[in-house]
Structure 1
Amino acid sequence: MTAEYSAHHLQVLEGLEAVRKRPGMYIGSTDSRGLMHCLWEIIDNSVDEALAGHGSRIDIVLHADGSVEVRDRARGIPVDIEPRTGLSGVEVVFTKLHAGGKFGGGSYAASGGLHGVGASVVNALSERLDVEVDRGGKTHAMSFHRGEPGLFAGDAPDSAFTPFERSSELRVVGKAPRGTSGTRIRYWADRQIFTKDAAFTLDELVQRARQTAFLVPGLEIVIADERGEERTETSYRFDGGLSEFADFLAPDAPITDTWRLQGSATFTETVPVLQANGAMVPTEVERSCEVDIALRWGTSYETVTRSFVNIIATPKGGTHQQGFEQGLMKVVRGQVEQNARRLKVGTDKLEKDDILAGLTAVLTVRVPEPQFEGQTKEVLGTPAVRQIVANVVGREMAAKFASPKRDDKAQTAQLLEKVVSEMKARISARTHKETQRRKTALESSSLPAKLADCRTNDVSESELFIVEGDSALGTAKHARNSEYQALLPIRGKILNVQKASVSDMLSNAECAAIIQVIGAGSGRSFDIASARYGKVILMSDADVDGAHIRTLLLTLFFRYMRPLIEEGRVFAAVPPLHRVVVVNPGSKPNETIYTYSEAELHGLLTKLRKAGRRWQEPVQRYKGLGEMDADQLATTTMDRAGRTLRRVRVEDADAANAVFELLMGNEVAPRRDFIITSSDRLSREAIDA
């Protein structure tokens, strides 16, 4: 380091050097997320073509050598010479930042690409990139090495590379069928840039492809994965548009149909326009904004919204989402005020979360040259879009509430009742939180009488065992360490909360007792910081009924106390199935061994038989926790030194929710199909008959 600082210390990065020096500025990061962002840049160029009416199929191939290929049958990248640079259109697109056909030149009415850097950034961050273009009856090809055009000696990315020295060449490598055009791009990501563990994520790619197919009706996207032992191929095409997308995203049963809110408006915007002489002149232009929204309300309190601008997802929202929420709040608040007496609202005011509870919405706007915040396009910044979306939502929702149709009247009435009930639940939870202090075991006078609480106030050390039945409770009381282990018995099978309403759940004695004992509330008002126990352990019998009770309890935790599962604080105890007493010769005391499955028992007995050792017959089979004495239960299930616990995790909340809905939901047909198709996997010996 030196104190001297002059112009000699300044660096000017030319061309794609800036991308390689600071890749995070362009793709966000250099891990798997950044790798996937590069792939989106290439795919979105093909999607923009389909959006403009060119091409109806996109193929994406994940090759075994780590490369990825994207093919389309659109217009193809221009291959003629760009007059200012003297380079072919292909080389301009892949080597020049801020070069492309999406700066208002008339090639695209609305597109996701705006800055002209996507393809060139991917090229700069690739060890090798090959592009082939079918246009004018010919197939043109060009290759690049870390952004530099040239020729490779072989097909591999590490083949000898010779850069072009004086002038570059867009080669003609074959003939294309008459009337056929399109682009094929294959590239190998540069491992000098990306982390070692960066990889293309098939699940994320499939999710994005499905999403795009929903947003562009009629477009087929085919994904082929050749990285495994067998090639897999998945194809997506949807003709139902946003309504089908909203139904697919919805996590709950509906209380309204899927409504479509559509409209458009124009606005003026002052933008710099490139003149023929190369000068940029501020010019006022008229823009059009098309709004298309699909939304429906369901029975749960979760909110699922997806927003898009020209098919590009905006996960962090922006002016279009602000306008959507503004228009929705204005209409619903107005309707609640008009029906205040019937709904018994009083002086309470609706908040945004009350209206959004249970909402599933897909919001799309199409705007020429939208203003995004950054190349990653996660936030829309065009100011005029907010009021346009708000006006469309206000007009269409007002028409829905004013509709004379019987179905519309019934559904809007149900919607208002749901919104008001959410408001009352929020106010009640807030009041309860403000007036009730968290009580310790000694202070608590409102906790259920059947709770056998622990003495410690240290939440990180305390454990709550939810045990099946009073008989197990009696044994567990003697087996526990009362310093930090609390016991709450439940009688039989609790309410199936996947089918029941919130009010039914809260009025159920067993569910209410569990929520009350944990002390952190439920649903949207759940506050994990207020939970009275560091671990919640489900201790049920090792039989079919015990598994059913455990599933019902997990359904309750998943739907109404999910943060406990997400933080890994819910466990299932693993009690033994068998007790084998091995007889030792002479005065040596007998040895007791516990097994946890039929296979483990048979393996143990075979091992003892081969060793010539005897055991007491019959082998004890525990049908319930109540059959154990306190010492046995403590040793096997409750003592921290020797017990086994299974942590309940939610790695993928959407997938877990689908399983709960299949097993515990209202729809009988999918559950019946699951039972029929899975029956061959059932072991008759495993049934506790």
Structure 2
Amino acid sequence: MTTEYSAHHLQVLEGLEAVRKRPGMYIGSNGSPGLMHCLWEIIDNSVDEAVAGHGERIAVILRADGSVEVRDDGRGVPVDVEPRTGLTGVEVVYTKLHAGGKFGGGSYAASGGLHGVGASVVNALSERLDVEVDRGGKTYAMSFRRGEPGNFADQGEKRPDAVFSPFISGSELRVIGKTRKGVTGTRVRYWADRQIFTPEAAFQYDDLVTRARQTAFLVPGLEIVLRDERGIDDPDVGLRETSYRFDGGISEFANFLATDAPVTDTWRLQGTGTFAETVPTLQPDGSMQSTEVQRECRVDIALRWGTGYDSITRSFVNIISTPKGGTHQQGFEQELTKQLRAEVEKNARRLKVGNDKLEKDDVLAGMTAVLTVEVPEPQFEGQTKEVLGTPAVRAIVAKVVREGLKERFTSTKRDDKNQVSMLLDKVVSEMKARLSARQHKETQRRKNALETSSLPAKLVDCRAHDISNSELFIVEGDSALGTARKARDSEYQALFPIRGKILNTQKASIGDMLSNAECAALIQVVGAGSGRTFDIDAARYGKIIVLSDADVDGAHIRTLLLTLFYRYMRPLIEHGRVYAAVPPLHRVIVQNPGSKPNETLYTYSDRELNQLLAKLRRQNKKWQEPIQRYKGLGEMDADQLADTTMSRDGRLLRRVRMADAEAAGHVFEMLMGSEVAPRREFIVAGAANLDKDAIDA
């Protein structure tokens, strides 16, 4: 280190050197996300060809040797000589930054590639990259090592560590074969450079599947084939291959993303708008001159509302996902809120909203939307293209939303009127739920024994102030409460009884849920709010344990409670704080000879009981008849309930995992949701397997 600082301390990074020196500037990181970003760059080039109408199939192959190959049937990278550089089109595209056919030259009306650095960045960060192009009846090929063109001395299979000879005096685009007339396309295979990427960086097949499915939805008629050969020699993994093709559009995408029952159909809002933009334009003499050009922006939106409260929005610009939004998403959400707020005000008396105002979260709750815009040369914030920055797009999207919703709101069709009415009821109930939840959160505080408490009178609270050590048992009925009160440890175990079966929250609105006495009381007891305002740090208990009878009704009650937690207090399940107690099903009293006291054993299923009895027979032991079969928790005395179900020393708890809750949600939607047809099919299909003797088990 020296304090001297002069011109000879400055470095000028030429060409692809800058990419290798600072890869994060171009791909975001040198881990798995950066590795995947490189793959997206190559795939997006093929997708742009399909969008332009020059391709119908893209194949992505993750090979066992660590390389990845992308094939398409587009027009093929140009192979003729670019006049300014004297290089072939293939070498220009893969070695020159800010070079390509997407700078407004007329090759693409709207494309995801804009900066002309995608393919060249991938080349610079690859230990080896091979390009093959079918064009004009011939197959051309060129190879690169870390961005430098040359030839590899391959012996059989292509390898990145093969002897490499860079071109000295001039480059060569090899002709390696012939093709049938009219056959065109590009094949790119590359090995990521492990000098750049971290050792644990790997291609994520699941992310690739998600992106391929998404692209197939956005480009109707395009087939995308994925093939993962990395586990082909592992019998536990094997070859994975997936193919996607959707002839519909973003309406299908919105329906695929939605997970809840519909409140409205999937609405389609489409339109175009123009705007003027001043951009530097390349002149014939090579100079740049600021020129005002007219742009056309096409907007296509598919949206629907469901009974849930989760919001799913996917936005795209020229097929490129913009996960962090941008001006198009801002215009969409602002105008959507504005129009629905105005419509609610028109119907204020029927909806009984008073002076309360809708907020954006009320409108977005339960909404699933796919927003796409096509813009020539959009302005993104950074090469990773996660945020659209073109200002004029906001007003165009807002105009399309405004006109589309007004047409829907003023429609005289009965179906449209019914859907609009249900939508207004939905957003107003969300607003009332937000206000109610806020009020709950502001007024609920954990009270100690010396303070007055606004908690439900039937709550039997514990004394402990250490939340992590406290447990809330939700018990079924007053009879079980009486036994559980004697069986519990009052220091850290609280009890809350529910009367019968609570509301089916799978198909009830959030307003109905909050107005239901049992549900509202349970939310109040947990003390962390509900829905979007749920704050797990405010929960009053470390464990929530559902203690219900070991019968069909008990299972039904447990399912109803878990549905409530899954839909409105989901973080409790995500953090593993919801459990189901496992009370015994049978009590077997083993008779011992002489003065030796009898032994009491418990079993938890008919199978376990049969195994126990068989074991006792082999040991020539007798048991008291009849064997007690517990039909409810109220049949146990306090000592039995404590020993088997509530005491930490001997109890068994089942933790409810998120996967369990999601699976239960799908089954519960079928069994108790609004759609009758799937339920009827399920009952008819399973009727032959029903054992009538097991109904009361």
Corresponding residue of 1:21: 21
Give the SS at the match of 1:511. helix
Determine helix, strand or coil for the equivalent of 1:128: strand
The alignment status of 1:141 with 2:156, answered yes or no, reads no
Counterpart check, 1:181 vs 2:189: no
Identical counterparts, % of pairs: 76
Letter in 2 for 1:317: G
* One of 160, 163, 170 as aligned partner of 1:161: 163
CA contact (8 A) 2:228 2:240 kept: yes
Does the 8 Å CA contact 1:32/1:201 hold for their aligned counterparts?
yes
Partner SS, residue 460 of structure 1: helix
Residues 19 and 121, structure 2, Cα contact 8 Å, conserved in 1: yes
Alpha-carbon shift at residue 675 of structure 1 (Å): 6.6
Query: Does the 8 Å contact 2:563/2:665 carry over to 1?
Result: no
Give 1:147 deviation, angstroms: 2.9
Report what 1:553 is aligned to: 561
Counterpart residue number, 1:346:
354
- Letter in structure 2 aligned against 1:225: D
- 1:467, 1:538 within 8 Å by CA — same for their partners in 2? yes
- The aligned counterpart of 2:93 is 93
Residues 126-525 of structure 1: pairs in structure 2 closer than 5 A: 126-149=126-149, 150-153=151-154, 154-166=156-168, 167-226=170-229, 227-228=231-232, 229=235, 230-434=238-442, 437-440=445-448, 443=451, 445-525=453-533
Moved more, 555-564 or 95-104: 95-104
Deviates more, 1:456-465 or 1:579-588: 579-588
Change (3 A) 1:434 1:518: closer
Give the conservation status (yes or no) of the 8 Å contact 1:580–1:615: no
Letter in 1 for 2:275: F
Call closer, same or farther: CA 1:498–1:343 in 2, change over 3 Å: closer
SS at match of 1:308: strand
- The offset of 1:117, in angstroms, is 1.8
Q: Which amino acid aligns with 2:281?
A: V
- Could you tell me how far apart the structure 1 residues matched to 2:581 and 2:381 are? 50
The 1:544/1:198 distance shift into structure 2, 3 A limit, reads farther
2:658 match: secondary structure: coil
Distance in 2 of aligned mates of 1:46 and 1:437: 58
The alpha-carbon distance between structure 1 residues 543 and 428, as it changes in their structure 2 partners (threshold 3 A), is: closer
Relative distance call for 1:301 and 1:8 in structure 2 (3 A) is: same
The separation in 2 between residues aligned to 1:676 and 1:120, in whole angstroms, is 59
**Counterpart amino acid of 2:189?**
R
1:666 maps onto 2:666 in alignment: no
Matched, 1:526 2:529: no
Residues in 1 aligned to 2:173 and 2:97: alpha-carbon distance in whole angstroms: 19
User: For the structure 1 residues 11 and 672, does the alpha-carbon distance in structure 2 shift closer, same or farther, using more than 3 Å as the test?
Assistant: farther
1:563 to 562, 571, 576: 571
Greater Cα shift, 660-669 or 514-523: 660-669
Unaligned runs of 5+ in 2: none
Q: Which amino acid aligns with 1:151?
A: F
Is the CA contact 2:585–2:604 (under 8 Å) kept in the aligned structure 1?
A: yes
1:306 and 1:361 in contact (8 A); partners too: yes
Match of 1:67 in 2: 67
The offset of 1:180, in angstroms, is: 0.6
Change (3 A) 1:637 1:198: farther
Distance 1:629 1:653, change over 3 A: closer
Alpha carbons 2:221, 2:245 under 8 Å: kept: yes
1:170-218 per-residue CA deviation (whole Å, 9 max, x = no partner) reads: 2222211211101122233334433444333333222222211221122
The alpha carbon displacement at 1:423 in A equals: 2.8
Equivalent AA in structure 2 for residue 78 of structure 1: P
Match of 2:27, as an amino acid? I
Shift of 1:587: 8.1
Contact 1:438/1:530 (8 A) holds in 2: no
Deviation track 1:421-466 (CA, whole Å, cap 9, x = no partner) reads 3333333443454455554466454433332210122322221111
CA contact (8 A) 1:582 1:613 kept: no
Alpha carbons of structure 1 residues 102 and 601: separation in structure 2 relative to 1, 3 Å: farther
Is the deviation greater in 310-319 or in 55-64?
55-64
Deviation at 1:688, TM superposition (A): 7.0
Distance in 2, matches of 1:68 and 1:584, equals 71
Residues 491-531 of structure 1 show CA distances to partners (whole Å, capped at 9, x for unaligned) of: 44332211223343334343233222112222233333332
Task: Give the secondary structure class of the aligned counterpart of 1:257.
Answer: coil
Separation in 2, partners of 1:294, 1:156: 46
Q: Distance in 1 between matches of 2:617 and 2:2?
A: 80
1:379 Cα deviation (Å)?
A: 0.7
Distance 2:689 2:19 in 1: 53
* CA distance in structure 1 between the aligned counterparts of 2:423 and 2:46, rounded to whole angstroms: 40
Q: Deviations over 1:312-340 (max 9, x none)?
A: 11111110111112322332333333333
**For the Cα contact (< 8 Å) 1:650–1:656, is it kept in 2?**
no
**429-438 vs 409-418, greater mean Cα deviation:** 429-438
Structure 1: gaps (5+ residues): none
1:390-445 CA deviation, whole Å, 9 max, x = no partner? Answer: 12221222222222333333333333333333333333443454455554466454
Q: CA RMSD in A?
A: 3.3
Deviates more, 1:315-324 or 1:546-555: 546-555
Q: CA offset at residue 380 of structure 1? A: 0.4
Deviations 1:206-244 (A, max 9, x none): 222221122112212222333354434332222221222
Q: Determine the C-alpha separation between the residues in 2 that align with 1:613 and 1:33.
A: 66
Partner of 2:653: 645
Structure 1 residue 590 displacement after superposition: 7.2
Q: Which moved more, 1:231-240 or 1:174-183?
A: 231-240
Judge which range, 466-475 or 98-107, deviates more. 466-475
Return closer, same or farther for 1:485/1:236 CA change in 2, 3 Å cut-off: same
State the alpha-carbon separation in 2 of the partners of residues 343 and 454 from structure 1. Answer: 42
CA contact (8 A) 2:475 2:546 kept: yes
Q: In structure 2, do the counterparts of structure 1 residues 307 and 22 end up closer, same or farther at CA, with 3 Å as the change threshold?
A: same
Q: Note closer, same or farther for the CA distance 1:626–1:126 as it changes in structure 2 (3 Å cut).
A: farther
CA distance 1:70–1:588, change in 2 (3 Å): farther
Code of the aligned partner of 1:47:
V
Q: 2: CA distance between counterparts of 1:686 and 1:579?
A: 20
- 1:584 Cα deviation (Å)? 8.3
In the alignment, the residues of structure 1 paired with residue 51 and residue 209 of structure 2 have an alpha-carbon distance, to the nearest angstrom, of 19
Deviation at 1:104, TM superposition (A): 1.2
Residue identity opposite 1:465 in structure 2: F
Call closer, same or farther: CA 1:510–1:138 in 2, change over 3 Å.
same
Q: How many residues align structurally?
A: 688
CA offset digits 1:284-320 (Å, max 9, x no partner): 2211111111222233333221111111111111101
Equivalent residue of 1:160, what SS?
A: coil
Superposed displacement of residue 642, structure 1: 4.5
Residue 585 of structure 1 deviates from its aligned partner by 9.0
CA deviations 1:135-187 (Å, max 9, x no partner) are: 11111222333333331524253542313231333222221121110112223
